[in-house]
Amino acid sequence: MGEDLEQLKQRIPLLTYLQRHHWSGRPAAVRSEFVGLCPLHEDTRPSFYVNPRKNLFYCHGCGQGGDLIRFVQLSQHLSFGQSLAYLQEELAPSARLLEHTATFYQMELHRYPEGIQYLAQRGVHDAALMEELGIGYARGGNMRLHLQQLGYSLERLLEVGLIRPQGQDAFCRRVIFPCRQQNRIVNLYGRSIGDAFPHRLLPRSKGGLFAWQSVCQFRNVILVEGLFDLAVLWQAGFRNTTCAIGTHLTPTQLAQLCQNPDRCVYIAFDQDENQAGQNAADSLLQVLDKAGLKIRLVGLPAGHDPNSYFLAGASAQDFVCDSRPCSGVYFNPSSAARQLAITRFDSE
């Protein structure tokens, strides 16, 4: 294992990795070292030193130091094992393959009307938003030939999960949302427009919170379950909405929310008849409360999620907040309190 780690670090030198991720350093007074602004904290004067010969870094500002794997742990908020997987991806990147796949699906969205028709049924009609989110459509049966013409082998497509072992496309008759992290696609989410199981992700990490690079600037963040919830809220002007693709937060997603200790998270989960969404929201409230964040639960009518609520005719002014306190001591808000309009959250 130790030998494998050393080989991994040799194949991706620390300085090369940093420069690939837009770190700019200049030769330091000490020969064979480079110095620049620290990418791990707000740095106003160069305090981050890299020794390419030893493959080590140290910041005199925040006191962090170590090797490539330690840097990835700190910068990406990953565990040791997750950092190894992240670096393996750097060596055998599938991001370019997923980028080609997502681009193909985006083109397919405009070739086959069923994709656009399904989006309209779900209340998503803004063409600019579809383009911004990279929404596509997988008809099924034609993606494999396209990617092989670009030079990808069948073995590679099977390895990434784009082709199933039986030979069919993994995504068939599904609207596709690309999941990005650090400006690269890490997974694809497909929502069935037919009778197949509705949700599908490739067998790999779903990455961080959806569209987090756009949302992290906001102090107040709306967290929803599904990507159609996110799409209709963005369309209504709530651009501070993000999604974990489900009700469970991964350690990476939790770390992202905790980056700003003053953040308030508005949980807008499904109001299911079986109480599943409410129970998940209550459990998540406890987790976020322990992490020191402010939390509020968004009150929706029974049986609705944000997507169905807007489909039923709600406007941005109807989107209401159940302002339960963060201490875990709940109260039943009056009907008047439940009519408190959120309008739109502004970054502060």
Confidence (pLDDT) at 2: 52
10, 81, 127, 217 from 7: Cα distances, Å: 5, 16, 47, 38
29-73, pLDDT tens digit by residue?
776 799 999 999 999 999 999 998 899 999 999 999 999 999 999
Q: Is 322's pLDDT higher than 50?
A: no
Has residue 334 got a pLDDT over 60?
A: no
Neighbour tally for 41: CB within 10 Å:
14
Mean pLDDT of the chain: 85
Q: For residue 58, give the nearest of 86, 101, 25, 85 by alpha carbon.
A: 25
* pLDDT for position 11: 76
Q: Indicate if the pLDDT at residue 330 is higher than 50.
A: no
Residue 348 has pLDDT above 60, yes or no: no
What string of H, E and C letters represents the secondary structure of the chain? CHHHHHHHHHHCCHHHHHHHCCCCCEECCCCCCEEECCCCCCCCCCCEEEECCCCEEEECCCCCEECHHHHHHHHHCCCHHHHHHHHHHHHCCCHHHHHHHHHHHHHHHCCCHHHHHHHHHCCCCCHHHHHHHCCEEECCCCHHHHHHHCCCCHHHHHHHCCECCCCCECCCCEEEEEEEECCEEEEEEEEECCCCCCEEECCCCCCCCCCHHHHCCCCEEEEECCHHHHHHHHHCCCCCEEECCCCCCCHHHHHHHCCCCCCEEEEECCCCCCCHHHHHHHHHHHHHHHCCCEEEECCCCCCCCHHHHHHCCCCHHHCECECCCCCCCCCCCCCCHHHCECCCCCCC
Mean pLDDT of 164-177: 95
Query: Which tens digit of pLDDT belongs to each residue from 233-267?
Result: 999 999 999 999 999 898 889 989 988 888 999 99
**pLDDT at 181 (0 to 100):** 82
Other CB atoms within 10 Å distance of the CB of residue 13: 15
pLDDT the model gives residue 92:
63
Q: Is the pLDDT of residue 297 over 60?
A: yes
pLDDT of residue 199: 94
pLDDT score at 143: 94
Looking at the DSSP bridge assignments, the partners of residue 192 are 174
Is residue 328 over pLDDT 80?
A: no
186-228 pLDDT, tens digit per residue, is: 899 999 999 899 999 999 888 889 999 999 999 999 999 999 9
Is the pTM here over 0.85, yes or no?
no
pLDDT for 273 = 76
Interval 106-135: pLDDT, tens? 999 999 999 999 999 999 999 999 999 999
